[in-house]
Amino acid sequence: MPVTVKSGRQELLQGLPDTRSFIDGLVQHRGAGPAQDLFQWEEPLVVARAPGRLDVMGGIADYSGSLVLQMPISEAAHVALQVSEGRDHAQEATVCILSIPAAGEEAHREPSFSCRTGELFPGGQPLEYEAARAYFKASPSSSWAAYIAGCLLVLARDGPEPAALTSRLASSSVRVLVQSAVPEGKGVSSSAAVEVATMTALAGALGVALEGRQLAILCQRVENLVVGAPCGIMDQMACTLGRQHSLLALLCQPAEVRGTVALPGHVAVWGIDSGIRHSVGGSDYGSVRVGTFMGLRIASSRGQPSGASGPPPPEWGGYLTRLSPSQLAQTYAAVLPVAIRGSDFVERYTTHYDSITTINPDQEYAVLQPASHPIAEHFRVNTFQQALQLTPGPEQLSLLGELMFQSHASYGGCGLGSSGTDRLVELVRESMEAVRAQGRAGGPLWGAKITGGGCGGTVCVLGEAGPEGEAAVQCVVEAYARERGVEADAIKVFRGSSPGAAELGPLTVTVG
């Protein structure tokens, strides 16, 4: 059965065997299996691809306005989507989503979700975000659908020409097939990849023009406001605008692309999964975010006149990273408490400025370390980017590695470490020490750090490109596997890179 693909980037498509395989697999889905009755196969589908990302530097400092450096990985999410706009009035419009595991991946959820379109658009209007969160959380087995169906709500509420989009979507049936090779719980943006692929396909099906930054911001709103996870912007931006084999330099104030930074030919990065599941919605991540914004609020009140009514506007545009480490040390660190109880903070300061998180009055929040981390991290990331331009050699690699080790230690100081990620970083250090014991300057590994939201997930390792670096990474993996009592093959290693979703764009696919 023939498959026709319309794309302005055929040469790019040819270099993406996973996308070709997904498209070819649609033929099998049409003939048999759970997706056989999903689509109106005589009509075109829109296919989109979005990779996961490896957080090389920046991490949780994104929501404080830091510069971040992100690498799109080889693994990606694919979506095939079809919108039927009021064609069959004999049948009620529905939203149907089918999730199938990629080759080698296990299913982690109920495979399908369906609802009447009217449930998401009661009275022809999109659900309010609070109601949408409650709707999807009501059934834990299908809460995953919020990442996908949430794209309909956010596009209708906050996309271009929302009234027109609401009218179209409220009367439409939407069919979505999702297949993702980005593993979940490993801190490589599996959720952002699905959101970006879905939004890219949905916009393509509706003929809505979204530039990459706008699309990424809409996807962040899906995660923040529909799913209810308080992530920053870097994940969605990297999945959308990342370039193969390059670091996306993004200043998160709120989402300013500073270009891409090619890794020098002698430098490579890998991601090693700790096997400890990461969750951006976890309490530790959320508590650290709350503490960070508490620090912003307290620091903003430093110059407030005595007796002034109401909270002052946030200083520095709401971005702590506009403070330098020296300014923090000289002026503001002394006014930040090490920790404060939620009820005491609210009584004294009223608000922490962050609309994405809420303060638990009965919880004690660390403040000084979470507020200090993004300021130092922003400085480290800028230094890291500059160091990539230095003369190649041990001094350059040692500086890059030390900045990563400092970042890792700062995560731990915030309470976002884990035994597995700490051990992987220790194994990298042990590898470096063993090399130095032989009288060499260092290498082939030079640094490592926890990534993303921390509390498990993946460790980013920096080393020398080539066989020696690969062999050293494999030795770390084997040592870690032995300690955990598993086979080395069970430890996921992220290698390589691929383009972001915007570079390929939506594909129009006809099967048969």
Within a domain: 483: yes
Name the residue range of residue 230's domain: 3-52+75-241+499-511
For position 110, what pLDDT does the model report? 81
For position 32, what pLDDT does the model report? 87
C-alpha dist (Å) from residue 142 to 97, 115, 223: 10, 11, 15
CA angle 186, 500, 505 (to 5 degrees): 130
pLDDT tens for each residue of 233-281: 999 999 999 999 999 999 999 999 999 999 999 999 999 999 998 766 5
Same domain, 30 and 81: yes
Q: Which residue reads 């209708």 in tokens?
A: 156
Same domain, 230 and 356: no
- Identify the band that residue 109 occupies on the pLDDT scale cut at 50, 70 and 90: confident
The residue type of 193 is A
For position 31, what pLDDT does the model report? 86
Same domain, 271 and 341: no
Same domain, 275 and 387: yes
Same domain, 17 and 150: yes
Residue with the larger pLDDT of the pair 158 and 32: 158
Q: Name the domain count of the chain.
A: 3
Hey, CA dihedral for 506, 507, 508, 511, is it positive or negative?
negative
Within a domain: 250: no
Q: Which residue reads 């992100």 in tokens?
A: 70
Same domain, 294 and 434: no
Contact 31, 482 (CB under 8 A): no
The rounded distance, in Å, linking the Cα atoms of 301 and 313 is 9
Within a domain: 83: yes
Residue 404 CB: number of other CB atoms within 10 A? 26
For position 428, what pLDDT does the model report? 99
Q: In 3D, which of 413, 474, 161 has the Cα closest to residue 284?
A: 413
Same domain, 21 and 94: yes
- Identify the band that residue 91 occupies on the pLDDT scale cut at 50, 70 and 90: confident
Instruction: Say which range, 30-34, 105-109, 279-283, 412-416, has the weakest mean pLDDT.
Output: 279-283
H runs (alpha helix) in 84-226: 117-120, 129-137, 146-158, 162-170, 190-206, 212-221
Within a domain: 260: no
Active site residues: 235
Strand partners, 140: none
Q: How far is CA 128 from the centre of its chain?
A: 24
The rounded distance, in Å, linking the Cα atoms of 285 and 60 is 9
The rounded distance, in Å, linking the Cα atoms of 176 and 115 is 13
pLDDT tens for each residue of 159-206: 999 999 999 999 999 999 999 999 999 999 999 999 999 999 999 999
Contact 361, 340 (CB under 8 A): no
Same domain, 180 and 321: no
Same domain, 455 and 335: no
Within a domain: 258: no
Within a domain: 257: no
For position 148, what pLDDT does the model report? 99
Within a domain: 70: no
Same domain, 20 and 144: yes
For all residues of the chain together, what is the average pLDDT? 95
Same domain, 112 and 46: yes
Within a domain: 65: no
CATH number for 20: 3.30.230.10
pLDDT tens for each residue of 313-336: 999 999 999 999 999 999 999 999
Same domain, 503 and 489: no
Q: How far is CA 279 from the centre of its chain?
A: 11
CATH number for 400: 3.30.70.890
